[in-house]
Structure 1
Amino acid sequence: MHHTDRDIRLAAALLEAADTLTECFDTGQYLQRLSDHCVELLSARAAGVMLIDAGRAVSVAGSSHQECLALELLEAQHGGGPCRDSYGSGRPVPPVSIRAAHEDARWPDFTERALAHDIATTYAVPLRRHQTLLGALNVFVPPGNGAAEAGLPLAQVLADATAVGLHNQRAFAQYRSLAGQLQEALSSRVRIEQAKGMLAERWNTTADDAFGTLRRYARGRRMPLDLVARAVVERSVDETELRGESGGASGGPA
């Protein structure tokens, strides 16, 4: 089977879209790369992505080629445009003549700026994973490019791959955050148990009594119990003040 250069570039773009499981992930750069691939593969003048949450644009990114143009045309869609229409319906906005749309008063702010930059046609596809919509990808086509209709399915493939990449990256970040929280909770528990054991041995008392002392000291000074335990382990706490809390009832189990 013969593979064209365009096929290989598309495969590389899809692989890049999937490669999001990294600690140094940058959403802006990632979306710019998607836009760059669209410009290259679809013979567009520029392309951009708008991430939308609860109907509000939360992030925009434009292709590095004609970046200012892409960002301007995305920001001009505050009153309506192909990105918002695609996101609102969850379906692609097929290629639209900018001049015809302007004459019909469709997206007036957007089309006025697009005409000023000699954009002939535009289309947009949703960024979606199953039923979850994340935003939309917008492609801006110069005059003389008759391949806009054929480019729509390819743009949707790139947008779908990007939505999967974004979803996986968010899940990865959540799992890492949860793992960090669980590790910190375990480390805190270990420090508290270590501090209880150290005090019980030094003062010849029970672990429960030592824990009660730690807890009363922490409450009296409005300090996290883990911070007090760390100070005990590191021997940086004033033991005279700490022992002054040992006269009350025992603190009970940890």
Structure 2
Amino acid sequence: MGVRPGHDPAGDPDGPDARAGVYEQVAEAITTGLRGAGPADVPGRLCAVAVALLPVDGASVSLRGDGMPVQLAASGPYAAHLAQVQATLGDGPCRDVLETGRPVLVRDLAAGDGAHRWPVFAQQALGAGVRAVYALPLGSDAACVGTLDLYRDTPGGLTDRQLRAAVLVAGVMTAALMDLPYDLPEGEGPWLEGLAADHDRVHQAVGMIMVQLGIGADEALARLRGDAFAHGRTAVEVALDVVSHRRRFDTR
């Protein structure tokens, strides 16, 4: 049985029966969503489960990276773009969750705290049609290894029961990521190979910018991000140009 967006999966009162109801429906949705999935498909399938269970329009998962988060999967192009915006800007709920290990729940990016905390990200997200963002940590109390980011086109919060469902999905996402094998069967190669390549390109580009301008790594990464933002591109796209010698930072 599917769960329509916006439906409260727990039912009525918030008690043991309601909590059990949340668990059962989330477990059923995850089991159905992962049926037949290979290791590389699991993160994206879980993002789709989150969208089906909750009143959200997109979901993405990012892993902690050295300097910037690495997008692992998304429910679709819309969510993938928003994850790249956060990584490129170095600004947004994903960064805050990685720094604090605590959930960040923004009811309305156009008002109050969200617009003040992340003015540039809020502007970009609102331009893409996003009004609310909910970011949940992946990992444990001791270490946050990534984030599950949920995007919504209309303002509003999650009920306690909807938040419980989101936390359950994040918990399964964490367990799945910790349990996935690095190597795919039948010689298909490492399932994280593409992500690692993107991350390596950014680091290589940062090193080249450091040499070109005689600056430190943090400033070089800031220059890379700033150039990407100024030209409406992602940090990975600009990094590829730098590594391919199509873009230099020591020329006007």
TM-score (norm 2): 0.55
The one-letter code sitting in structure 2 at the alignment partner of 1:84 is R
- Is residue 58 of structure 1 aligned with residue 70 of structure 2? yes
Name the CA distance, whole Å, in 1 between partners of 2:30 and 2:61.
Answer: 16
Alignment of 1:232-247 (within 5 A): none
Equivalent position to 1:44, from 56, 64, 80: 56
Equivalent position to 1:71, from 61, 66, 80: 80
- Is residue 12 of structure 1 aligned with residue 28 of structure 2? yes
Percent identity, aligned pairs only, is 27
Alpha-carbon offset, residue 95 of structure 1 = 2.9
TM-score (norm 1): 0.54
What per-residue deviation string (whole Å, max 9, x for no partner) do you get for residues 148-192 of structure 1?
A: 66533321211111111211224x86xxxxxxxxxxxxxxxxxxx
Size of the aligned set, in residue pairs, is: 168
- The answer to which structure, 1 or 2, has the higher relative contact order (CA under 8 A, 6+ apart) is 2
Equivalent position to 2:103, from 89, 92, 98: 92
Give RMSD over aligned pairs.
Answer: 3.6
What per-residue deviation string (whole Å, max 9, x for no partner) do you get for residues 89-145 of structure 1?
A: 111112341102588442233212221232221110001145232200111122265
Name the CA distance, whole Å, in 2 between partners of 1:92 and 1:9.
Answer: 22
The one-letter code sitting in structure 1 at the alignment partner of 2:85 is A
Describe the shift of the 1:91–1:4 C-alpha distance in structure 2 as closer, same or farther (beyond 3 A).
Answer: closer
Larger radius of gyration: 1
- Is residue 25 of structure 1 aligned with residue 34 of structure 2? no
The one-letter code sitting in structure 2 at the alignment partner of 1:72 is H
Q: Specify the alignment match of 1:157 in structure 2.
A: 168
Task: Give ranges in structure 1 of 5+ residues lacking alignment.
Answer: 174-254
Name the CA distance, whole Å, in 2 between partners of 1:149 and 1:5.
Answer: 13
Alpha-carbon offset, residue 10 of structure 1 = 1.1
Q: Is the contact between residue 101 and residue 141 of structure 2 (CA under 8 Å) also seen in structure 1?
A: no
- Is residue 167 of structure 1 aligned with residue 178 of structure 2? yes
* Partner-residue secondary structure (3-state), 2:39: coil
* Partner-residue secondary structure (3-state), 2:129: coil
Name the CA distance, whole Å, in 1 between partners of 2:74 and 2:61.
Answer: 6
Q: Is the contact between residue 6 and residue 41 of structure 1 (CA under 8 Å) also seen in structure 2?
A: no
Q: Is the contact between residue 62 and residue 70 of structure 1 (CA under 8 Å) also seen in structure 2?
A: yes
Describe the shift of the 1:48–1:2 C-alpha distance in structure 2 as closer, same or farther (beyond 3 A).
Answer: closer
Name the CA distance, whole Å, in 2 between partners of 1:53 and 1:38.
Answer: 23
Describe the shift of the 1:141–1:150 C-alpha distance in structure 2 as closer, same or farther (beyond 3 A).
Answer: farther
The one-letter code sitting in structure 1 at the alignment partner of 2:108 is S
